[in-house]
């Protein structure tokens, strides 16, 4: 897929998951029950799709191309990325408190989630503006399109898309826009999936589990 079209599609998918997050954060702020599995899966999507795939490829690919073309924006975008990573760290720390029933942890989680949403939306707007500027110059566009960024392995990437699909169907009643990015399955001698090392990276694709009741209302 052509790079500019792919970025536009990824941004649309990210916006959809931000809408899902908005629904969950509103429930936390209103002291309504929230499925902890859905929060886990959403955080997994942010870490593995937004940070490890989307943002990492931007840094290795698009930012390098911008600098090659003497574009002034990469430093600002890099600052956005650091702020996004900081917000994700706060969410990961707070979700542990939420699981353990710590008072006011639901509202704290909502605070950091809203911070993440604001940063990601502003970042994508800046990036879209820069990409539109570059796309109008054929020589500059060719310089960006000549590179081939690496992707996650197909099984892991398609699992991320399934998480996005399940959350969009559950909260937005529509499929994710990211389906067009699905990769053909790899043929490997060992089909056993590797376990992730960090706590929030393994999604639970069966959401019929724990409903978390907000703890800060007493």
User: Which of 55, 45, 48 is closest to 78 using CA atoms?
Assistant: 55
CATH of domain 3-181: 1.20.120.520
Q: Encode the chain (218 residues) as per-residue pLDDT tens digits.
A: 577 788 889 999 999 999 999 999 999 988 788 899 999 999 999 999 999 999 988 888 777 777 777 777 788 888 999 999 999 999 999 999 999 988 889 999 999 999 999 999 999 999 888 878 777 776 766 666 666 555 656 778 889 999 999 999 999 999 999 988 887 665 443 443 344 433 444 444 443 334 554 444 43
Q: How far apart are CA 214 and CA 104, in angstroms?
A: 8
- Sequence ranges of the domains in the chain: 3-181
Task: Say how far residue 33 (Cα) sits from the centre of its chain.
Answer: 23
Q: How far apart are CA 1 and CA 3, in angstroms?
A: 6
Report CA-CA distances (Å) from 177 to 12, 121, 156.
7, 17, 18
Number of H helices, E strands in the chain: 8, 2
Task: Say how far residue 202 (Cα) sits from the centre of its chain.
Answer: 14
| pTM of structure | 0.80
């Amino acid at each position: 897929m052509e790079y500019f079209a792919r970025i536009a599609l990824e941004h649309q998918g990210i916006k959809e998951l931000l809408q899902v997050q908005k629904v969950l954060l509103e429930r936390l702020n209103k002291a309504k029950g929230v499925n902890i599995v859905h929060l886990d899966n959403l955080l997994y999507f942010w870490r593995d799709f937004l940070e490890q795939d989307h943002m990492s490829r931007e840094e290795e690919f698009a930012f390098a191309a911008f600098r090659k073309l003497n574009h002034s924006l990469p430093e600002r975008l890099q600052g956005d990325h650091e702020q996004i990573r900081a917000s994700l760290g706060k969410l990961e720390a707070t979700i542990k408190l939420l699981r353990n029933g710590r008072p006011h942890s639901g509202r704290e989680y909502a605070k950091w989630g809203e911070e993440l949403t604001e940063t990601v939306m502003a970042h994508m707007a800046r990036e879209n503006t820069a990409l539109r500027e570059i796309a109008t110059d054929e020589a500059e566009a060719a310089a960006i399109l000549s590179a081939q960024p690496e992707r996650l392995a197909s099984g892991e990437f398609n699992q991320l898309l399934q998480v996005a699909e399940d959350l969009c169907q559950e909260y937005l009643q529509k499929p994710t826009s990211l389906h067009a990015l699905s990769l053909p399955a790899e043929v490997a001698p060992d089909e056993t999936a590797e376990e992730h090392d960090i706590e929030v990276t393994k999604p639970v694709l069966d959401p019929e589990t724990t409903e978390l009741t907000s703890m800060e209302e007493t």
